[in-house]
Amino acid sequence: MLFQNVKNDATNQRYAGNRRSHVRRQTRRCRFRPRLGSGNWRRRRWSRLFIWHDLHTQNGRWLVKQSCGAILLFRFHSLANTNIVASRLKNLMVRNSPRAFTLIELLVVIGIIAIIAALAVPALTRAIERAKATKDMSNLRQIGMATQLYMNDNNGVLFSTAPPSWMSQLYNADPPPVTPKYISSWGVFVSPFDRPASPRTSSPNNAHSAVSYGINGGVIGMSADKISKPSVFIVFAPAQASGSAVNFQGIGDTTSQASLVASPNVTVVADATVPNGPATGGTHVNRQQINALCADWHVQSMAWSGTGPAFTNKSDPGNDPDAPYRWCPQPPCP
């Protein structure tokens, strides 16, 4: 645009009656020659192509003249911008559009998930088993602490030989307001490896409440000071029934305290268990390990069998010198 808004002034008042003279006057101000000779035709032609005339008349109206060349240039510029914007929008839409998986990619992802699952499942299984073993050791430790409290109240004697079961001497099955005994929750008697099946249940107030742990039958009614090696002698351990899988059958009638007193004792001596023994393996690590509570009230996880220190050894098989003291308080035992 070569000039804009050519303003009116006092000099233009003389041309008030002649608009064409007024336009010619403004053209002259902008150094346009009103007349061009024949030799200047080409110059005049190109000027008309590329000049945008924007003239302001006296009466306040705009007189706009556009050349054909300016219109073509403007239209070409607008079309080019439109094409560029459309191309960019198309690329953006293609870039942001969802892309489906190919069959090979899908198979690769499935294979990776399968490998991760194959690695994770055994690790998760081992972690769950270790958690159960830890809970099992905690239950045995609580039974040991309750037994020690009982011994403190009964001159160091490990339970009574009278008809009351050892469970009834640690737990009171009668509901409140009867004062609980040394163990307040029946769940302590149920191992995490024990999955009671009907009619057995892990809940109290039932005629078939599960009992997973057994006492060494040789210590009932005996004073604790007669145990030769308390750190080796086993007092409590899981009392499994026979079978290829971990299986428990011990029960106590917890419908009342009198019923629990009359319940039979659950006992364990090596692999001989009551009821429904003998046991054929440990409780964890592919039935190669089992937990046991010794007379000094420490809990340890030990091998089920073998030539070394093992749960079922009653005599030394070659590398287990403490085997005679494991189940017998004062060897030799019958």
- Residue-wise pLDDT for 238-287, tens only, equals 999 999 999 999 999 999 999 999 999 999 999 999 999 899 999 999 99
- Residues 149-192: pLDDT tens digits? 999 999 999 998 777 899 999 999 998 888 889 999 999 999 99
pLDDT at 63: 44
Lowest mean pLDDT among 57-71, 109-123, 235-249, 312-326: 57-71
Six token digits for residue 6:
């050519």
pLDDT level of residue 76 (50, 70, 90 thresholds): very low
Q: For residue 332, what pLDDT is reported?
A: 86
295 or 27, higher pLDDT: 295
132: amino acid identity, one letter: K
Tokens of 55: 């003239």
Tell me what pLDDT residue 52 has. 47
pLDDT of residue 315: 92
Predicted local confidence at residue 333, as pLDDT? 82
Of residues 245 and 63, more confidence is placed in: 245
Q: Please, which residues bridge with residue 171 across strands?
A: 183
Per-residue pLDDT averaged across 79-100, rounded? Answer: 58
Residue 195 CA neighbour count, 13 Å, CB half: 4
Find all residues with CB under 8 Å of 158, minimum gap 6, and list them.
147, 151, 219, 220, 221, 222, 223, 224, 235
User: For residue 248, what are its two tokens?
Assistant: 């428990």
Q: Is 21 left (phi over 0), alpha (psi -120 to 50) or beta?
A: alpha
Q: How many CB atoms lie within 10 A of CB 81?
A: 10
Give start and end residues of each alpha helix (H) in the chain.
19-29, 41-50, 68-96, 103-153, 257-261, 323-326
Q: Please, are residues 19 and 57 in contact by the beta-carbon 8 Å criterion?
A: yes
> Cα(302)–Cα(27) distance, rounded to whole angstroms?
115
pLDDT at residue 5 greater than cutoff 50: no
What is the C-alpha separation between 141 and 137, in angstroms, rounded? 6
Answer for the pair 322, 230: CB distance below 8 angstroms, yes or no: no
Contact 251, 235 (CB under 8 A): no
| ∠ CA 193-197-202, rounded to 5° | 65
Confidence label for 83 from pLDDT (cuts 50, 70 and 90): low
Are 64 and 6 a contacting pair, CB within 8 Å?
A: no
Is the bond into 122 cis (omega within 30 degrees of 0)?
no
Residue 292: exposed, middle, or buried by beta-carbon count in 10 A (0-12, 13-18, 19+)? buried
Which of 211, 198, 207, 201 shows the shortest CA–CA distance to 239?
A: 211
State the CB neighbour count (10 A cutoff) for residue 267.
Answer: 21
The Cα–Cα gap between 292 and 309 comes to 13
Residues 287 and 304: beta-carbon distance below 8 Å: yes
| Amino acid in position 274 | V
Check pLDDT > 80 for residue 121: yes
Determine the pLDDT at residue 218: 87
Mean pLDDT of the chain: 80
Give pLDDT tens digits for 298-319: 999 999 999 899 999 999 998 9
Task: Identify the pLDDT of residue 258.
Answer: 93
| Eight-state DSSP code of residue 6 | P
